[in-house]
Structure 1
Amino acid sequence: MRAIVYSQTGEPSVLQLVDRPVNEPGAGEVRVRLVVAGVNPTDWKSRRGSAPGQALAFEDVVPGQDGAGIVEAVGDGVENVAVGDRVWLALAAYQLAHSGTAQEHSVLPADRVFPLPANASFDQGASLGVPAITAYRALTVAEDGPSRLHPGALHGKVVLVAGGAGAVGHAAIQLARWAGATVITTVSSPSKAELATAAGAQHVLTYTDSDIVGQIRRIAPEGVDLIVEVAPAQNSHLDLAVIRNRGSIAVYANNGGDQVTLDVRRHFSLNVRYQFVLLYTVGADVIRAAAEAINAALVDGALAVGEETGLPLHRFDLAQTADAHALVESGAVGKVLIDVTAE
């Protein structure tokens, strides 16, 4: 089978196309034929490391956390999926050398494999994983709930999604709307505003507007209930100005800088909760709950992808994985997908 590997950190050029044998799943494992793989910022960050030429934890690594395909074989004890099932994958490469989705066949733990609803495409399945589970977690950390998403779970809540044109922002808008929230999002340009509107945000604002606080407060006079934050260093003053008493700010990225200065007294007075979100360490229970809600949303027609729903798709062949990484690393808007095998 064809697989992409890298044996040292560095530029996209360290990614190499090789031929490898197809492995059999062991107990608790599943082998999936990948149809489409997704590429996320976490993929190029892992590949790049903190410096070029670093030694890896393994001799070489197959990248790619997200993907969708068809179950080919299951090991002993696997009950959540069966041979022939259409599935989506999450955290495929986490702490594993050769289970990433940038290959034709992946053997990975069954708890990282989830049934793909019949009405969902492989493109949708490959676009879930990191973005959708991160968005789910960000929407379920507030002190006043909900702890799980379902239709009506966010009824009466106002959610502010920073960076609504990104992949996580897109999923957060869609999941929040599915759960009944009023969604405000901030973007940087008219073109991104069109994407966020297509995703379903009811209020799309330009974060550089001088009256941005006033605009948000007119929509939510008591303040917003929850902020899904991609750039805390840049937005901390805005967030404090619009969060309600006992509101929560869920931080899932460090765009704009690693250091945040907070006004302690003003945060005290509002009982604000900051919740940092990293998918890899949230725990298996959260991942399972997220996958169940994501699948329910898919069945209901939420989490669509494509430019018409706010998430343009950029496609590459498996042999072009280095180009796919480079495009994500350049900050391209939309979702980068790799066509691995024929559907």
Structure 2
Amino acid sequence: MKAIIYRDNGGPDVLQLVDRDLPEPGPGEVRVRVAVSGVNPTDWQARSGSGHPKRFAEVTPHLDGAGTIDAVGAGVDQRRVGQRVWLFMAAAGRPTGTAAEFTVVPAEQAVPLPDEAGFDLGASLGVPALTAHRALTVAEDGPRRLSPGALDGKVVLAAGGAGAVGHAVIQLARWAGATVVSTVSSPEKARLAAAAGAHHVIDYREGDPAGDIREVAPDGVDLVAEVALGANLALDLAVLRTRGTIATYANDGGMPVELDVLGSMVLNAHFHFLVLFLAGPEARAAAVEDVAAAVRDGALPVGEEHGLPLVRFPLDRTADAHRAVENRAVGKVLVDIGG
């Protein structure tokens, strides 16, 4: 089979296209013929060695993907052979991710994908959708699970609604019944956030964004899903309701975080920092179940018309796919691998 590998940390040029033996699934595992591989910031960070120590002599990257199960190991229902699936955390703690024609993962990390859902959608779930679910379920006064009606009466602020996680936050929050506000930095990104389903889209670089958000939520927003805490914290605190939650999954731009401690205490503000890989197994399992339900309901479409443009590369240009993600390409970067 064809696979992308790297042996040393470094820039995109360390990625190589090679031939490898077909992997065999062990007990409790499935082998998947990968159709599409999804690329996340975590993938290039792991490749570069940024905060992710390399644990294996050779690594095939990428956590997310979608394809068809073609073999199962001992203890796995043989009827899963031929099942269309989406994959998550494929390369987490393992040397073989989805940037290959075939990959092997624990059976529970291959989630059934409905026939009406394309492989592009499947490869776009994983890290973004599960992170979004986690961000939406950590509030003191909010639900631990998502389903239609779970966020009725809540106002959610999705920072960076044109990004992959922000896009999933908008879609999942709307599916669960929230009023969704999204902040963006340009008219083009505003168009994408609106296409994703945000009820209100605000350019934080124009006018009075706090005042505009307060017009939508006079009592403040219940939860902020934050991608750039250092840059956005002042705005978040200006619009957060008492006992509201700021769930932070990134700090894009790397701006230092300066916290108004007294102001945060008066608000009884809750800060929750999250990394999907370190979430407990129960929280991850709940996220997988709820995201799968949202997919069945047709609540997580992708593509430019749905607010998430797809940026595609063939397998032999995986290095260019990594460059696109590093350069903050707008949309979801995918690598086409097979049928």
**TM-score, reference length from structure 2:** 0.97
Query: Shift in Å at residue 81 of structure 1?
Result: 7.2
Residue aligning to 1:59: 57
Q: Tell me if structure 2 keeps the 8 A contact 1:36–1:67.
A: yes
Cα distance in 1, alignment partners of residues 181 and 43 from structure 2: 29
Match status 1:302 vs 2:299 = yes
Structure 1 counterpart of 2:188, one-letter code? S
Classify the secondary structure of the residue corresponding to 1:150.
Answer: coil
User: Structure 1 residues 140 and 32, CA, compared in 2 at 3 Å: closer, same or farther?
Assistant: same
Question: Corresponding residue for 1:95?
Answer: 93
Contact 2:132–2:166 (Cα < 8 Å) also in 1:
yes
SS of aligned partner of 1:130: helix
> Aligned equivalents of 1:10 and 1:244: distance in 2?
44
1:45 aligns with 2:45: yes
Q: 1:144 aligns with which of 130, 141, 145?
A: 141
Contact 2:72 2:78 in 1 (8 A): no
Instruction: State yes or no: 1:85 paired with 2:83.
Output: yes
Q: How does 1:305-324 map to 2 (within 5 A)?
A: 305-324=302-321
SS in 2 for 1:27: coil
Alpha-carbon shift at residue 118 of structure 1 (Å): 2.2
2:80 counterpart SS class: coil
Structure 1 residues 307 and 78: alpha-carbon distance in aligned structure 2, compared to 1, 3 A threshold: same
1:95 offset after TM fit, Å?
A: 1.1
Structure 2: segments with no counterpart, 5+ residues: none
Q: Deviations over 1:166-191 (max 9, x none)?
A: 00000000000000000000000000
Looking at structure 2, the residues matched to 320 and 61 of structure 1 have their Cα atoms a distance apart, in angstroms, of: 17
Percentage identity across aligned positions? 61
2:192 maps to which residue? 195
Kept in 1, the 8 Å contact 2:6–2:14? The answer is yes
1: CA distance, partners of 2:76 / 2:278: 23
Post-superposition Cα deviations, 1:127-181, rounded to whole Å, max 9, x if no partner, equal: 0000000000000000011110000000000000000000000000000000000
Partner of 1:192: helix, strand, or coil?
A: helix
Q: Which amino acid aligns with 1:72?
A: D
SS of 1:63's equivalent?
A: coil
Deviations 1:285-316 (A, max 9, x none): 22221111111111111110000000001111
Report the Cα offset of residue 55 of structure 1. Answer: 8.2
- Opposite residue 221 of structure 1, the aligned amino acid is P
AA partner of residue 316 (structure 1): F
Gap change, CA 1:163 and 1:294, over 3 Å in 2: same
Measured at CA, do residues 94 and 9 of structure 1 come closer, stay the same or move farther in structure 2, by a change above 3 Å? same
Cα distance in 2 for residues equivalent to 1:249 and 1:260: 13
Q: Tell me how large the CA RMSD over aligned residues is.
A: 1.5
Match of residue 211 from structure 1: 208
4+ residue segments displaced more than 6 Å: none
Aligned to 1:114: 111
CA distance in 2, matches of 1:337, 1:268: 43
Cα distance, 1:80 vs structure 2? 10
User: Does the 8 Å contact 2:36/2:65 carry over to 1?
Assistant: yes
The letter of the residue matching 1:56 is: K
Following superposition, the deviation at residue 258 of structure 1 comes to 5.6
What is the CA–CA distance in structure 2 between the aligned matches of 1:256 and 1:17, rounded to whole Å?
Answer: 32
Contact 1:64–1:92, Cα closer than 8 Å, also in 2: yes
- Is the Cα–Cα contact under 8 Å of residues 80 and 110 in structure 1 kept in the other structure? no
Q: Determine helix, strand or coil for the equivalent of 2:18.
A: strand
- Distance in 2 between the 1:141 and 1:299 partners? 24
- Counterpart check, 1:134 vs 2:96: no
Could you say if the C-alpha distance between residues 260 and 57 of structure 1 is closer, same or farther in structure 2, counting changes exceeding 3 Å?
Answer: same
**Cα 1:90/1:266, change in 2 over 3 Å:** same
Structure 1 contact 119–298 (Cα < 8 Å) conserved: no
| Paired position in structure 1 for 2:238 | 241
Using the alignment, how far apart are the partners of 2:202 and 2:327 within structure 1?
Answer: 24
1:268 corresponds to 2:265: yes
For the Cα contact (< 8 Å) 1:8–1:55, is it kept in 2? no
Secondary structure, in 3 states, of the residue corresponding to 2:141? coil
Give distance in 2, aligned partners of 1:292 and 1:55: 30
State whether residues 81 and 114 of structure 1, in contact with CA within 8 Å, keep that contact through their aligned partners in structure 2: no
Q: What secondary structure, in the 3-state scheme, does the structure 1 residue paired with 2:140 have?
A: coil
Counterpart of 1:159 (choices 135, 156, 159) is 156
Q: Distance in 2 between matches of 1:49 and 1:192?
A: 30
Task: Check if 1:35 corresponds to 2:57.
Answer: no
Helix, strand or coil: the match of 2:264? helix
The more displaced of 22-31 and 130-139 is 22-31
**TM-score normalised according to structure 1 size:** 0.96
The match for 2:16 is 16
> Distance in 1 between the 2:147 and 2:324 partners?
34
Query: 1:192 and 1:75, CA in 2 relative to 1: closer, same or farther beyond 3 A?
Result: same
The amino acid of 2:165's aligned partner reads V
